[in-house]
Amino acid sequence: MTENETQSSTELAGEMEKLNATDCTTSIEEDKDGDIVDPWKVESKSAKGVDYDKLIKRFGSSRIDQQILDKIEKVTGKPVHHLLKRGIFFSHRDLNIILDLYEKKKPFFLYTGRGPSSDAMHLGHLIPFIFTKWLQDTFDVPLIIQLTDDEKFLWKDLSLEECHRLAIENAKDIIACGFDKEKTFIFADTDYISQSRAFYTTMCRIQKCVTFNQARGIFGFQDTDCIGKISFPSIQATTSFSVAFPQIFNGRKDIPCLIPCAIDQDPYFRMTRDIAPRLGYHKPSLIHSTFIPSLQGAQTKMSGSDPNSSIYLTDTPKQIKTKINKYAFSGGGATVEEHREKGGDCDIDISYKYLTFFLEDDGKLEQIRKDYTSGELLTGYLKKDLIAMLQEIVAKHQEKRKQITEEEVLEYMRPRKLIYDY
Amino acid sequence: MTENETQSSTELAGEMEKLNATDCTTSIEEDKDGDIVDPWKVESKSAKGVDYDKLIKRFGSSRIDQQILDKIEKVTGKPVHHLLKRGIFFSHRDLNIILDLYEKKKPFFLYTGRGPSSDAMHLGHLIPFIFTKWLQDTFDVPLIIQLTDDEKFLWKDLSLEECHRLAIENAKDIIACGFDKEKTFIFADTDYISQSRAFYTTMCRIQKCVTFNQARGIFGFQDTDCIGKISFPSIQATTSFSVAFPQIFNGRKDIPCLIPCAIDQDPYFRMTRDIAPRLGYHKPSLIHSTFIPSLQGAQTKMSGSDPNSSIYLTDTPKQIKTKINKYAFSGGGATVEEHREKGGDCDIDISYKYLTFFLEDDGKLEQIRKDYTSGELLTGYLKKDLIAMLQEIVAKHQEKRKQITEEEVLEYMRPRKLIYDY
Among A398, A380, A412, smallest CA distance to A173 is for: A398
Residue A280 domain flag: yes
Least confident among A42-46, A125-129, A356-360: A42-46
Residues B262, B131 share a domain:
yes
CA distance B303 to B158: 17
- B357: domain CATH number is 1.10.240.10
Q: Assess B230–A contact: CB distance below 8 Å, yes or no.
A: yes
CA distance A221 to A210: 13
Residue A414 domain flag: no
Cβ neighbors of A237 (< 8 A, separation 6 or more) are: A206, A268, A269, A271, A272, A275
Does this model's pTM top 0.95? My answer is: no
Residues B119, B235 share a domain:
yes
Element (H, E) at B261: strand B257-262
Residues A365, A234 share a domain:
no
- A200: domain CATH number is 3.40.50.620
Residue A280: phi and psi, rounded to 5, are 80, 20
Residue with the bigger pLDDT between B38 and B169: it is B169
Tell me which of A294, A315, A332 is where a domain ends. Answer: A294
Residue with the bigger pLDDT between B30 and B357: it is B357
CB-CB under 8 Å, B213 with A5: no
* Side-chain half-sphere exposure of B367, counting CA atoms within 13 A: 7
Among B303, B320, B336, B342, smallest CA distance to B398 is for: B320
Cβ neighbors of B125 (< 8 A, separation 6 or more) are: B114, B173, B304, B313
Residues A123, A163 share a domain:
yes
What are the pLDDT digits (tens) for B273-322? 999 999 999 999 999 999 999 999 888 888 777 788 899 999 999 999 99
Residues B20, B149 share a domain:
yes
Quick check: A95 pLDDT over 60? yes
State whether residue B344 is helix, strand or coil: coil
Residues A257, A324 share a domain:
no
Quick check: B23 pLDDT over 60? no
Cβ neighbors of B22 (< 8 A, separation 6 or more) are: none
Residues A113, A203 share a domain:
yes
CB-CB under 8 Å, B200 with A153: no
Residue A322 domain flag: yes
- DSSP H helices, B104-159, are 123-139, 149-155
Among B422, B419, B7, B411, smallest CA distance to B208 is for: B7
Q: Assess B199–A contact: CB distance below 8 Å, yes or no.
A: yes
Q: Is the dihedral of CA A357, A359, A361, A367 positive or negative?
A: negative
Tell me which of A260, A278, A294 is where a domain ends. Answer: A294
Nearest-Cα distance to chain B for A334, in Å, is 45
Residue B409 domain flag: no
Residues B340, B198 share a domain:
no
CA distance B130 to B108: 19
CA distance A358 to A131: 11
The fraction of chain B above a pLDDT of 90, given in percent, is 83
Least confident among A26-40, A108-122, B53-67, B345-359: A26-40
* Structural domain total, chain B: 2
CA distance A385 to B22: 65
For testing the chain A interface, which of B8, B17, B204 should be mutated: the one with the most A CBs within 10 Å?
A: B204
| Residues 10-39, chain B, touching A (beta carbon < 8 A) | 10, 12-13
- DSSP H helices, A77-159, are 82-85, 95-103, 123-139, 149-155
If one counts every other C-beta atom within 10 angstroms of the C-beta of residue B22, the result is 10
Q: Which of B10, B193, B226 sits opposite A224 (nearest CB)?
A: B10
pLDDT at position B29 is 52
Q: Assess A40–B contact: CB distance below 8 Å, yes or no.
A: no
CB-CB under 8 Å, A9 with B224: yes
Average pLDDT of chain B, as a whole number: 91
DSSP character for B183?
G
Residues B370, B235 share a domain:
no
CA distance A271 to A214: 9
Range of the domain at A177: 3-294
Find out whether A44 and A50 touch, Cβ atoms under 8 Å: yes
State whether residue A323 is helix, strand or coil: helix
How many contacts (CB atoms, under 8 Å) link A and B? 159
What are the pLDDT digits (tens) for A146-190? 999 999 999 999 999 999 999 999 999 999 999 999 999 999 999
Mean pLDDT within A289-302: 89
Residue B369 domain flag: yes
Residue A413 domain flag: no
Q: Which of A9, A193, A230 sits opposite B231 (nearest CB)?
A: A230
Q: For residue B21, with 0-12 CB atoms within 10 Å meaning exposed, 13-18 middle and 19 or more buried, which class applies?
A: exposed
Quick check: B31 pLDDT over 90? no
Tell me which of A294, A317, A346 is where a domain ends. Answer: A294
Quick check: B329 pLDDT over 90? yes
Mean pLDDT within A87-116: 97
Least confident among A196-210, B36-50, B139-153, B195-209: B36-50
Residue A408 domain flag: no
CB-CB under 8 Å, B228 with A234: yes
CA distance B230 to B237: 13
Residue B421: phi and psi, rounded to 5, are -105, 145
CB-CB under 8 Å, B230 with A212: yes
Find out whether B240 and A186 touch, Cβ atoms under 8 Å: no
User: Is beta strand A257-262 parallel, antiparallel or unpaired with respect to A184-188?
Assistant: unpaired
pLDDT at position B30 is 59
If one counts every other C-beta atom within 10 angstroms of the C-beta of residue A275, the result is 25
Residues B247, B311 share a domain:
no
Residues A231, A144 share a domain:
yes
Residue A411 domain flag: no
pLDDT at position A3 is 36
Residues A290, A316 share a domain:
no
| Residues 171-190, chain B, touching A (beta carbon < 8 A) | 190
> What pLDDT band is residue A306 in, cutting at 50, 70 and 90?
confident
